Amino acid sequence: MESKIKVKDPELGPSRVDGRLKVTGAAKYSAEYSVKGVTYGVLVGSTIAKGTITSLDTRAAERAPGVLAVITYQNCPEIPGYHTPDQPAKGPLKIFLDNKIYFNGQPIALVVAETFERALFAGSLVKAQYNKDDHQTDLKNNLQNGIAKGKDYVRGQEDAYKTAPVKVEQEYLLPTEVHNPMELHAIIARWDADNKLTIWDKTQGVKSTQRNIANAFKIPTENVQVNAPFVGGAFGAALRTWPHEIAAVAAAKLVKRPVKLVLSRADMFTSVGYRPLTWQKIGIGATSDGKLEGITHEATGQTSVYEDFTEGVVNISQLMYASPNVNTKYKVVSLNVNTPTPMRGPGEATGAWALESALDELSYALNIDPIELRLRNHADTDPLSGKPYSSKFLKEAYQLGADRIGWSERRQQPGTLVKDGWLVGYGMGAGMFGAYRSNATVTARLQADGILVLQTAVTDIGPGTGTAMATIGAEVLGVPVEKVKIFLGDSSLPPSPTQGGSQVTSTVGAAVFDACTELKTKFKALEGGANSNDYVQLLNANKLPQLEVTTVSKGGAEMGNYAAYSWSVHFIQVLVNPVTGVVKVNKAVSVADAGHIVSPKTAASQIKGGAIMGIGMALMEEALIDHRYGRLVNNNFGDYHVPVQADIPQVEALFVNKPDPYLNPMGAKGMGEIATIGVAPAVVNAIYNATGKRIRELPVTPDKLI
């Protein structure tokens, strides 16, 4: 069938405004700044998972060449924020507070030395003795200890799937995944005065980091300057302020010199969160013609003993399909592990892995094409709130993707399509994520040299925020995008939200739109402005050096009447070697309904990156703990596998590219999360189609297929 949707060529649109700086190395990441008198910190981690430190011998480390300090719970400068009277019972790890150990790898010392190598060597000399307690690190053995989080959800009748004519009831396991962005988390902390501080920090939010550091050290917020003009990926790992950042700031106070702390790749596995290992059970039932009668979704994820991390794992089952009966339960189990944190598509990516697998299983039980099954249960209004959608073009997305992958070649009978000795299979999975808009402030200035300057505090962690903002500004004012200069990732700039939750293009883009519209109005009001768009000539004629506005932009109140989501559909063709069980992803097509696509090139990269992450989730990623010691065994890139070039085909990114009429003036919706939500089940569903083997425990390594 021919698609009737016109697609904007994803190769059109401006290239990355920071592309040249990045590929030439001119873009500086937080650890790359030369700060006068800088010293180097290295963390030392515990080697037990639970207990107390009984003695800590730091003498050899302190005497080692070039060492300035060994900071432990015994000598760490007081962190006043740890001692305010309103401390909750559970919360973020308070680094170097006392001798208690909650997880293996928990920092017990920070060595500061004149060079990194000397700090690293001295770290090896720190000797700890422990009083060890029995630890628990295995979720599968502790499912009975789950504590319910949030309210159980019931729509219609509970467990209605049980009495449906056709049903599937299965369990799905997602292992722990670690964000592992290319850029290691790093901070340089420099005290400029007793209560004044500059940091160069890997963070997704300079304003939130500014607040968190100020609160921890009880200094005025404006006295903390946070710089993060370039961020080398994050995926959620830099959403919050972590203990190592507090430790570096405390250390700089102690040694009275700037301290640079770059986490090692191994530290990244225990210091900056992860997508938690999660057990799920889905019961799903339908009439014999494929109308859903009920979905029951239970999930239990792991968290640390000192802090509860929760995410919306089961929400997608409440939202995605028009089932009259849905009930969900969500629990967490406290284990001797570090606290998880949001990772791209937090909750929904985990939930979609189970839901979209179960739906695929149901499609075979019904002998109905998986796309057809989804169309028969398409939600025309939001099943949770009953509200109309602000926009939803999911049906178009199914069609676009099916056409592009060649879905008509798929065989309904698994294991029957063979090419050159490889089993061929097709699979699909869908995703959704809330489309949001919050508040942001943007300064827009048109200068006499013709340059449009845009300033706002938001960080660009890689999705192309700067490029999208420059594009919006250029379009509103009708100037070439090459004439736009954008400044971001700096806490002294006008406030913007943290980069996260797929809301930055909508929120900050709207603020850029508003500021540039206001600027345009100001030009119109100038002498001669009514008849000219030549801003430079207008400035000159009116003897003005520049024209500038600062605009506060807020989310639209009318959104209360609508349910706003972005949608995605992912199509995968796999080749499976029947002898070795090796899986090759041969084709990947991801389609997004993300409203109007503001910046096609960076948007396509965003979608491709999400697909690659989902392929990694399906086939490779798994952080493994040796439960005898409660210690991670694959905390490095040799043993923790992520996809490399050779694992990934040319991923095609397609967009429905129809504006959302309500969310913001551009009609844009977010796409950071939906890029990865639904990809992993699409891969696993394709493997089933190729082999007839249903794998319900990720990742699908070859041993599970032979």
Placement of tokens 């992993």 in the chain: 680
Rg (CA), the chain: 26
The answer to whether 262 and 112 have CB atoms below 8 angstroms apart is: no
Query: 235 or 523, CB closer to ligand MOS?
Result: 235
Query: By CB under 6 A, is residue 326 in contact with ligand MOS?
Result: no
Asked whether position 240 contacts ligand MOS by CB under 6 A, the answer is no
232/342 with CB nearer ligand MOS: 342
What residues contact 493, with CB distance under 8 A and at least 6 apart?
Answer: 443, 455, 456, 457, 487
Nearest partner of 609 among 673, 687, 681, 668, judged by Cα: 673
In angstroms, give the least distance from the CB of 305 to ligand MOS.
Answer: 23
| Number of residues that make up the chain | 706
Q: How far apart are CA 569 and CA 685, in angstroms?
A: 13
Smallest Cα–Cα separation from 300: which of 143, 176, 172?
143
Instruction: For ligand MOS, give the closer residue by CB, 233 or 581.
Output: 233
- Binding of residue 276 to ligand MOS (CB under 6 A): no
* CB 384 to ligand MOS: min, Å: 21
Contacting residue, 14, 181, 236, 462, with ligand MOS by CB under 6 A: 236
Q: Please write down the HEC assignment for all residues of 506-528.
A: HHHHHHHHHHHHHHHHHHHCCCC
Q: To the nearest whole angstrom, how small is the minimum distance from the Cβ of residue 20 to ligand MOS?
A: 26
**Residue 609 sits in the site that holds ligand MOS (CB under 6 A):** no
For ligand MOS, the closer CB: 429 or 501: 501
The residue range among 341-349, 368-376, 416-424, 473-481 that interacts with ligand MOS, by the rule CB under 6 A, is 341-349
Which part of the chain contacts ligand MOS (CB under 6 A), choosing from 8-16, 235-243, 542-550, 635-643?
235-243
Question: Which residues lie below 8 Å from residue 86, measured CB to CB, with a gap of 6+?
Answer: none
- Residue 54 DSSP SS3: strand
Q: Closest approach of Cβ 500 to ligand MOS, in Å?
A: 4
Region of 337-345, 358-366, 418-426, 445-453 interacting with ligand MOS (CB under 6 A): 337-345
Query: Residue 686 and residue 424: Cα distance in Å, rounded?
Result: 8
59-67, 340-348, 520-528, 615-623 -> range binding ligand MOS (CB under 6 A): 340-348
Q: Which residue is nearest to ligand MOS (CB)?
A: 236
Residue 232 binding ligand MOS, by CB under 6 A: no
Distance, CA of 529 to CA of 196 (rounded, Å): 45
Site for ligand MOS in 195-214 (CB under 6 A): 204
| Smallest separation (angstroms) from ligand MOS to the CB of 463 | 10
CB of 303 to ligand MOS, least distance (A): 16
- DSSP one-letter code for 255: H
Segment contacting ligand MOS by CB under 6 A, of 119-127, 234-242, 257-265, 483-491? 234-242
Catalytic residue set:
673
For residues 505 and 663, give the distance between their C-alpha atoms in angstroms, rounded to a whole number.
Answer: 11
Region binding ligand MOS by CB under 6 A among candidate stretches 61-69, 232-240, 256-264, 463-471: 232-240
Binding mask 620-659 for ligand MOS (x = CB under 6 A): ----------------------------------------
617 makes contact with ligand MOS (CB under 6 A): no
Nearer to ligand MOS, 185 or 410 (CB): 185
Min dist. Cβ of residue 488 to ligand MOS (A)? 16
Q: Is 347 in the site for ligand MOS (CB under 6 A)?
A: no
**Residue 280 is inside which H or E element, if any?**
strand 278-286
Residue 372's SS3 state is: helix
Q: For residue 374, what are its two tokens?
A: 């989804």
Q: In this complex, which beta carbon is closest to ligand MOS, that of residue 198 or of residue 503? A: 503
In the complex, what is the shortest distance from the CB of residue 677 to ligand MOS, in angstroms, rounded to a whole number?
Answer: 11
- Cα separation, 240 vs 242, in Å, equals 6
> Among 343, 493, 597, 684, which residue interacts with ligand MOS (rule: CB under 6 A)?
343
Integer angstrom CA distances of residue 636 from 166, 174, 627: 45, 20, 18
Sheet holding 440-447, edge to edge: 484-487, 452-455, 440-447, 546-553
Which of the residues 443 through 502 are near ligand MOS (CB under 6 A)? 500-501
Minimum Å gap between C-beta 317 and ligand MOS is: 20
Q: Are 277 and 301 in contact (CB under 8 A)?
A: yes
Stretch that binds ligand MOS, among 16-24, 338-346, 408-416, 696-704 (CB under 6 A): 338-346
Q: Which of 41, 346, 370, 473 binds ligand MOS (CB under 6 A)?
A: 346
**Counting contacts by CB under 6 A, is residue 595 touching ligand MOS?**
no
Whole-angstrom distance, CA of residue 206 vs CA of residue 132: 39
d(CA 314, CA 153): 9
Q: Which is closer to ligand MOS, CB of 207 or CB of 260?
A: 207
| Nearest partner of 694 among 365, 373, 290, judged by Cα | 365
Are the beta carbons of 180 and 234 closer than 8 angstroms? no
Q: DSSP H helical segments within 535-595, as ranges?
A: 535-541
Cβ distance 611 to 619 under 8 Å?
no
Distance of closest approach, residue 348 Cβ to ligand MOS, in angstroms: 10
Rule CB under 6 A: is residue 185 a binding residue for ligand MOS? no
By rule CB under 6 A, what string of x and - marks binding of each residue 662-681 to ligand MOS? ----------x---------
Name which of 434 and 643 has its Cβ closer to ligand MOS: 434
Using CB under 6 A as the binding rule, whether residue 107 contacts ligand MOS is answered as: no
Q: Which is nearer to ligand MOS, 327 or 350 (CB)?
A: 350
Are the C-beta atoms of residues 388 and 382 closer than 8 Å to each other?
Answer: yes
> What is the nearest approach in angstroms of ligand MOS to the Cβ of residue 672?
6
Q: Look up residue 563 and give its DSSP letter.
A: B
Q: Quick check: 344 binds ligand MOS (CB under 6 A)?
A: yes
Nearer to ligand MOS, 240 or 587 (CB): 240
C-alpha distances out from residue 17 to 468, 606, 668, Å: 9, 15, 20
Q: Torsions phi, psi of 538, nearest 5? A: -65, -40
Rounded to a whole number, what is the distance in angstroms from the first to the last CA of the chain? 36
Binding-site size, ligand MOS (CB under 6 A): 11
- Assess contact for 304 and 147: CB atoms under 8 A: no
- Of 45, 181, 273, 342, the residue at the interface with ligand MOS (CB under 6 A) is 342
3-class SS of residue 20 = helix
Q: Are 574 and 585 in contact (CB under 8 A)?
A: yes
- Cis peptide preceding 480, ω within 30 of 0: no
- What phi and psi, each to the nearest 5 degrees, are found at residue 264? -75, 165
- Nearer to ligand MOS by Cβ, of 250 and 343: the residue is 343
Candidate residues 44, 239, 355, 682; the one interacting with ligand MOS per rule CB under 6 A: 239
Q: Which is closer to ligand MOS, CB of 135 or CB of 344? A: 344
Cα angle: 691, vertex 693, 697; to 5 degrees: 135
**Closer CB to ligand MOS, 107 or 346, in the complex:** 346
- Footprint of ligand MOS (CB under 6 A): 204, 235-236, 239, 342-344, 346, 500-501, 672
